[in-house]
Amino acid sequence: MSELPIYERFHSWQGEGLHLGKSAFFIRLHGCPVHCPWCDSAGTWHPEHKPDNIDRMSPLDLADEAFSSGCEIVVITGGEPAIHNLHDLAYELRIRNLPIHIETCGAYPILGEMDWITISPKNLALPIEENLALADEFKIIVEDETSIQHWTNKIDFAQIGVPTWLHPEWSCSKDESVLSSITNWIKDRGAPFRAGFQMHKLFQADEKDKRSKPEAALCSEPQK
């Protein structure tokens, strides 16, 4: 059973999407080949931010730790978690009756059986067709008034039909034009679009677990 490179794992609650508010154990894996210039998880891949020593854990130990937290769901994230073979981790979590969620850009085949797939598409690595068909929800990061139109030109969310969350990019979360663009889009179109927010950040929920690490964000402006 191969070990996985762990950036952090901690117990908090899901702050986004359809499972908002559920007790969740987060497993953030190292590595991402997408290299968005505004990445807020740069500690998982950027040479100037990633640690010298990368912890590795077996799927069995990760699953035991998740189980002992008492969480309701497990969220596998990154970096880009789908670059790793997740079969063994998914198996170990499943035999402990833990629902398995993944948050991915959708550009890579997902190796392992998931219960919930959240795709947050990135311009530098668009989702592949097989993942568009598997998605349970989408999360669009809105950083200016053109963002939503940009993404609806690339992906036919209405035809796919699963909840499509419109989140203000965190540094723009008080920007009137960003918030208005979300409000107007929802009021004009309705389903599958929904207004979203990173609620856990308001509560500083993740920081309550000492195993969580501060966000390592790159400085460049988001570029969809």
List of residues contacting ligand SF4 (CB under 6 A): 32, 34-36, 39, 41, 78-80, 105, 122
- The least distance separating ligand SF4 from the CB of residue 38, rounded to whole angstroms, comes to 7
Nearer to ligand SF4, 79 or 196 (CB): 79
Query: Smallest distance, Å, CB 31 to ligand SF4?
Result: 9
In angstroms, the Cα distances linking 111 to 106, 121, 131, 174 are: 12, 18, 11, 37
For residue 108, the one-letter residue type is Y
Nearer to ligand SF4, 78 or 127 (CB): 78
Cβ proximity to ligand SF4: between 122 and 167 the closer is: 122
Strand order in the sheet with 23-29: 55-57, 4-13, 23-29, 73-77, 100-104, 116-119, 137-142, 164-168, 193-195
Torsion angles phi and psi, residue 100, rounded to 5: -110, 120
Nearer to ligand SF4, 63 or 141 (CB): 141
Least CB distance from residue 142 to ligand SF4, whole Å?
A: 15
Q: Which of 133, 195, 129, 143 is closest to 164 using CA atoms?
A: 195
CA triple 135-136-141, angle to 5 deg = 80
In the complex with ligand SF4, the residue whose CB is nearer, 38 or 67, is 38
- Closest CB 51 distance from ligand SF4, rounded Å: 16
> Measured from the CB of residue 54, what is the shortest distance to ligand SF4 in angstroms?
15
